[in-house]
Amino acid sequence: MISPYVRRLRLGWEVETRRKAAKLTTDKLARMVSADRSKLSRLEGGKIRPDLDFVYKLLEALGVDGEEWAHLATIAREATEKGWWESQPMDHRQALFADLEAGATTIREYQQTVVPGLLQSEAYTRALNEHDDLTLAAPAPSPQEMTIRARAGRQRMLRRPGGPSYEVVLDEMIVRRETAPPRVLAEQLRALATTTVATVRVLPVSARIEAYSVPKSAFSLYTYADPGDPTVAAVEMVAADLALTDVGEVKSYEQLFDRLRKATLPEKDSARLLAEAADEMERIAA
């Protein structure tokens, strides 16, 4: 599997790098291939699914040939592919994450309010959709069953042969605060304590994080097998999600994740805390 989104970003970077090396402006290169400047700008920004004929003309104008041409042509073809998530109803936020997850070799995630989508049980997902009537997560909330099916599809991809390694840091507030009915939350916490698809560690409320680096929001980091593909940091916001590829910005999130990881409880202690919290929720539900 590959991430068409990440390949689009890679293709755009490759074209832009060669254009600048040739000392060409976007206007001049666009004129050389009889194209609109905005089309080239969107391609370089990874904002459009590429037109292969257009890409081939750009490569010719930039003097790319031989093995280099074949390599970039392969990236361009992969950037045009459609992922499994495009064949079923799915809101744009889940589609972005499904695209980033495709082909990833590692996923690192910090969550501070709810259980990560890739680890949510169906009952927990259903409860979030049924009971939360205030969330501004999407302009047009998806029907509940569509959301559940989409999340299940993403979870299957995580479990595929050769799927990514998955490391999660959970803020303790997820464990302590009732984000779903107690019985549902108890089952979810117990599943987290015993999961085999991810390394789960809890960040205690009392933890001292290096340089007092308290995270402002949830975020995920994705790396890919091709060392030329960018590491992507996806930052969760109120009404949208932000995908960052700038090396400096991504490095800051990688450093933050490392600091959070160092402040977490060990795996066994995290599992014990999750199991004890599940017991407590069951007592509340009884």
Q: What is the pLDDT of residues 18-34, one digit of tens each?
A: 999 999 999 999 999 99
- Average pLDDT for the chain: 93
Between CA 188 and CA 192 the distance in angstroms is 6
Q: Residue 222: what pLDDT? A: 98
Within a 10 A sphere around the Cβ of 4, how many other Cβ atoms?
19
**Residue of 71, 81, 73, 35 whose CA lies nearest to 56:** 73
Q: Is 46 left (phi over 0), alpha (psi -120 to 50) or beta?
A: left
Between CA 286 and CA 55 the distance in angstroms is 63
What phi and psi, each to the nearest 5 degrees, are found at residue 9? -60, -45
Q: Is the pLDDT of residue 49 over 90?
A: yes
Contact 168, 106 (CB under 8 A): no
Tell me, rounded to whole angstroms, the distance of Cα 106 from its chain centroid.
10
Q: Residue 245: what pLDDT? A: 95
pLDDT band at 246 (very low <50, low <70, confident <90, very high): very high
Q: What percent of the chain has pLDDT over 90?
A: 84
Tell me, rounded to whole angstroms, the distance of Cα 236 from its chain centroid.
9
Beta-bridge partners for 242: 235
What phi and psi, each to the nearest 5 degrees, are found at residue 135? -60, 135
